[in-house]
């Protein structure tokens, strides 16, 4: 029955070209649907995000594309060696002069997260059974053995009102009869970790209680429940917390948006559990310039969609800010869409490979019981995951000039990066037809200008025949929208 319902919903979405309830329907860089199902209106939040919200008598409408700038988020834990409570110095005034400057914890978040998030699979239609099923699928599908560990709950898990006495957020008992703490215990007993969702505004994107002004209470609550990961969104920001113009000192770390997130970072620093902190700020306020001072990862854009145009646009955005990537600092290209929409298997390979070699968090976002053998092989590829999770080298692969007179594409097609195993080359065919791609070995950063090399196919897990001199070129026919991945070592 569940499979039938999902198929009908997917077909309906394709035919009607509408975003689901609480789904994104607009914003800067958004390439998905811009109208909503009957009874839901595309409601503007800020220039980066518009969402389908209930509206009596409203019909779907496109969202405006300009206005308010959004915010950022931050986290920290006890036991870190770099925690500081000193205040900004210089000419800062107002709230920026007294805002906490606590850095994120170094007890978690060194490597980009590997896990699953409920939103792309279920939206707001979540419950304990679905979350626990995902956790058990980590085991049965071999994802835990491949390194996946976070099972993350997104929006719509709470009651609409806080507890009137304690002011704590209250889980929806119908959806979560054992509470979040009971679910966390079950997930921890599987050797996995659990994530939760909140918002740096007065309410979440779906209208449930946000954490702005309740940071200490909510951090303590999440700690008591056994939470390991916090996704912190950016909806429903009061006007006095928005920004206009350049922030003090020309540093967006001092913007109102960043300070909203810094307040949660400081609150998380007072609890006992290391909680990985995701700043779901949609690429606003130059977050890549200051995100590492506040959290472990930061969203680069609005919500993902299962389209080739989204994949190429977010890679293009990320490539401009790869200098921000290192241990405890990850540009987040949003949740995976493998298993969703009409992406070809080649596009899904590129989707996964790019997230891996650019070291974005990888959070699967589908009903994993529906993944095919081919899709599972993609998301469990041991060699791409090893590059992504390398504990010695924290930087991502970078674009490089593969050969003389190489054409310019957007996004770039050729990337190289180092791991503990050697030098890697990744090539994306951005064109809509099969194309021959090539690179000269002496052009690959990190390779010697003399000597001979052997090439290993990271997808197949096998060495290619023969050896190559530094001055020689390597050519390969790459299918439309596909990505090839190689490890190159001395022969």
User: Hey, which residues are catalytic here?
Assistant: 233, 303
CB under 8 Å to 421, separation ≥6 — which residues? 386, 487, 489
> What pairs with residue 44 in β-bridges?
50
Of 448, 466, 458, 462, residue with least CA distance to 483: 458
Distances in Å between the alpha carbon of 240 and those of 66, 173, 262?
18, 34, 16
Residue 80: count other Cβ atoms within 10 Å of its Cβ.
17
State the Cα–Cα distance between residues 246 and 268, nearest whole angstrom.
Answer: 28
Q: Sign of dihedral through CA atoms 220, 224, 227, 231?
A: negative
DSSP-H helix ranges across 59-177 = 95-98, 119-122, 128-140, 143-146
3-class DSSP state for residue 416?
A: strand
Residues in CB range of 367: below 8 A, 6 or more apart: 2, 6, 121, 122, 339
Residue closest to 110 by CA, chosen among 421, 391, 364: 391
Q: What is the DSSP letter of 313?
A: H
Neighbours of 440 (CB within 10 A): 18
Q: Using the structure block, give the residue that is written with the tokens 């009971």.
A: 182
Nearest to 25 by CA among 35, 17, 38: 35
Largest CA distance in the chain: 73
Q: Which residue reads 């719509």 in tokens? A: 156
Phi, psi dihedrals of residue 241, rounded to the nearest 5°: -105, 5
Output the six-digit token pair for 279: 């700043």
Closest by CA to 258, choosing from 245, 269, 268, 247, is 247
Task: Kindly report the length of the chain.
Answer: 491
First to last CA, the chain: 55
The whole-angstrom separation of Cα 470 and Cα 440 is 7
């Amino acid at each position: 029955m569940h499979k039938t319902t999902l198929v009908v919903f997917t077909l309906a979405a394709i035919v009607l070209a509408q975003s689901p309830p609480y789904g994104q329907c607009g914003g800067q860089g958004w390439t998905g649907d811009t109208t909503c199902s009957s009874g839901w209106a595309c409601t503007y939040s800020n220039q980066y995000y518009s969402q389908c919200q209930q509206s009596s008598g409203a019909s779907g409408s496109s969202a405006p594309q300009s206005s308010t700038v959004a915010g950022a988020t931050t986290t920290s834990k006890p036991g870190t060696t770099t925690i500081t409570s000193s205040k900004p110095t210089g000419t800062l005034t107002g709230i920026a002069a007294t805002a906490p400057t606590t850095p994120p914890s170094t007890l978690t978040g060194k490597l980009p997260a590997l896990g699953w998030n409920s939103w792309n699979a279920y939206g707001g239609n979540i419950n304990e059974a679905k979350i626990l099923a995902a956790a058990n699928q980590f085991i049965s599908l071999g994802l835990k053995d491949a390194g996946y560990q976070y099972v993350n709950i997104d929006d719509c898990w709470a009651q609409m009102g806080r507890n009137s006495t304690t002011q704590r957020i209250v889980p929806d008992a119908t959806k979560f009869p054992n509470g979040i703490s009971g679910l966390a215990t079950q997930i921890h007993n599987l050797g996995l970790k659990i994530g939760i969702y909140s918002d740096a505004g007065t309410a979440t994107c779906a209208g449930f209680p946000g954490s702005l002004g309740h940071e200490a209470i909510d951090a303590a609550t999440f700690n008591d429940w056994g939470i390991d990961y916090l996704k912190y969104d950016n909806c429903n920001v009061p006007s006095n917390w928005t920004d206009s113009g350049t922030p003090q000192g020309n540093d967006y770390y001092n913007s109102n948006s960043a300070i909203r997130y810094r307040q949660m970072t400081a609150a998380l620093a007072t609890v006992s559990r290391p909680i990985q902190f995701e700043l779901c700020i949609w690429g606003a306020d130059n977050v890549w310039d200051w995100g590492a001072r506040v959290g472990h990862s930061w969203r680069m854009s609005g919500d993902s969609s299962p389209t080739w145009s989204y994949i190429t646009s977010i890679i293009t955005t990320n490539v401009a800010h790869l200098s921000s990537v290192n241990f405890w600092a990850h540009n987040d290209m949003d949740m995976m869409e493998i298993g969703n929409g009409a992406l070809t298997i080649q596009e899904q390979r590129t989707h996964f490979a790019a997230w891996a070699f650019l070291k974005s968090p990888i959070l699967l976002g589908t009903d994993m019981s529906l993944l095919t053998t081919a899709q599972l092989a993609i998301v469990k590829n041991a060699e791409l995951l090893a590059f992504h999770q390398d504990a010695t080298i924290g930087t991502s692969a970078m674009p490089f000039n593969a050969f003389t007179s190489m054409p310019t594409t957007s996004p770039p097609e050729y990337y190289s990066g180092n791991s503990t195993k050697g030098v890697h080359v990744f090539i994306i065919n951005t064109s809509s037809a099969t194309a021959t791609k090539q690179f000269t070995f002496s052009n690959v950063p990190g390779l010697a200008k003399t000597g001979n090399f052997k090439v290993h196919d990271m997808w197949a897990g096998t060495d290619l025949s023969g050896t190559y001199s530094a001055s020689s070129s390597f050519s390969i026919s790459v299918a439309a929208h596909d990505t090839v991945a190689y490890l190159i070592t001395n022969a």
